[in-house]
Amino acid sequence: MSAAEEVVEGHQAVEAVPKRAMTLGTGTSLVVLAALLIAPVFVKNFIIFQMTMLLIYGLAVLALNILTGGSGQFSLGQSAFYAVGAYTTAVLMEHFNVNYALTLPIAGIVCFGFGFLFGQPALRLSGVYLALATFALATAMPQLLKLNFLEHWTGGVQGLVVTKPDAPFGLPMSQDMWLYYFTLVVVIAIYIFSVNLLRSRSGRAFMAIRDNEIAASAMGVDVALYKTLAFGVSAAITGIAGSLGAIAVQFVAPDSYTITLAISLFLGMVVGGVGWLPGSIVGAAFIIFVPNIAEGISKGLSGAVFGVLLFLVIYLVPHGARQVAILGQQLAGKLRKN
């Protein structure tokens, strides 16, 4: 047996991504799920709304995590996909009276196509160059949405108001609570899909490309296909997050989807831990709540306070929430032994 074969064999023998490296243990997952299920019963509608936004941004961060953590491609253009998803839903709901739930898969498909197409030219770029190309997409998107010939549909600068759905079947719950549970179901479904995707053949191909593109192609991975596929899947999930966001916020406007959003999502991914899917929610919590905390500390210097907090996180736990989780696990293990 040659050395090369040994390496290949070795890869196949070990699970490409150990389950624990990507997800939480079953016990922990169930506790988190239970908490997410029960919490809304005890809190005000405003908090439920914030939790919904947490799930939605978490979903968008997860999508970026698949792209960057999974296939190793950078994107600063997620806000563009988010915007396309949001506008797809808003236009379908307000101009065509399509049911809100149906708009999600449509937004997903539209964004998949959009992401897949964008992935084609992106193939030639890597690293910082790809980040720049996607950056251009993010800066262009708000202006594209204002274009004259689209204005009839998009409402131009004024944006579109989206009607919030009531709970179906006469369920005795507020709109906010219904939307929260609806979002939760969608997010869990996509989370499970993502975990399985990354553990599947395609996921292993993503990660092979991430670790070493040449080696991956030598092993027979169709690099071009899988790179664009990763873009497509990531865009589709971001688009669905955008749809949910449009329904929760009840409003879409070009100003909502600027480059700031893309950078926030990127930040959320880094804080949550690149490649660690549960970290997406932690990252989303960071980008939603930390600015509020910073504002509470100093209104005039909220940006600076936010920067200091971010710096502390990066400095103390460079691998984000994943590192904290691993530390916690080790600590729990030690305690158990004692």
Q: How far is the CB of 48 from other proteins (least distance, A)?
A: 10
Residue 178 Cβ, how far from other proteins at the closest point, in Å? Answer: 16
Nearer to other proteins, 303 or 318 (CB): 303
Cα 83 to Cα 271: distance, rounded to the nearest angstrom? 23
- CB of 220 or CB of 300, closer to other proteins: 300
Rounded Cα distance between 180 and 169, Å, is: 16
DSSP 80-102: HHHHHHHHHHHHHHHHH---HHH
Least Å from the CB of residue 255 to other proteins: 5
- Contacts with other proteins by CB under 8 A lie at 42-47, 49-50, 53, 143, 146, 148, 156-159, 161, 245, 249-251, 253-256, 258, 260-261, 291, 295, 299-300, 302-303
Virtual CA dihedral for 179, 33, 53, 246, nearest 10 degrees?
-40
In the bound state with other proteins, the residue whose beta carbon lies nearer, of 222 and 255, is 255
Q: Please report how close the Cβ of residue 242 comes to other proteins at its closest, in angstroms.
A: 11
> 208 or 288: whose CB is closer to other proteins?
288
Nearer to other proteins, 164 or 319 (CB): 164
Sequence-ordered list of residues with C-beta below 8 angstroms from that of 209, at least 6 positions apart, any chain:
71, 72, 216, 221, 223, 226, 227
Please report, to the nearest 10 degrees, the dihedral formed by the alpha carbons of residues 230, 231, 233, 236 taken in order: 170
Task: Please choose, from the candidates 90, 127, 75, 88, the residue with its C-alpha nearest in 3D space to the C-alpha of residue 259.
Answer: 75
Cβ closer to other proteins: 268 or 278? 268
| Secondary structure percentages of the chain, helix, strand, coil, to 5 | 80, 0, 20
Question: Which H or E element spans position 11?
Answer: helix 3-13
Q: How far is the CB of 158 from other proteins (least distance, A)?
A: 6
Minimum gap (Å) between residue 28 Cβ and other proteins = 27
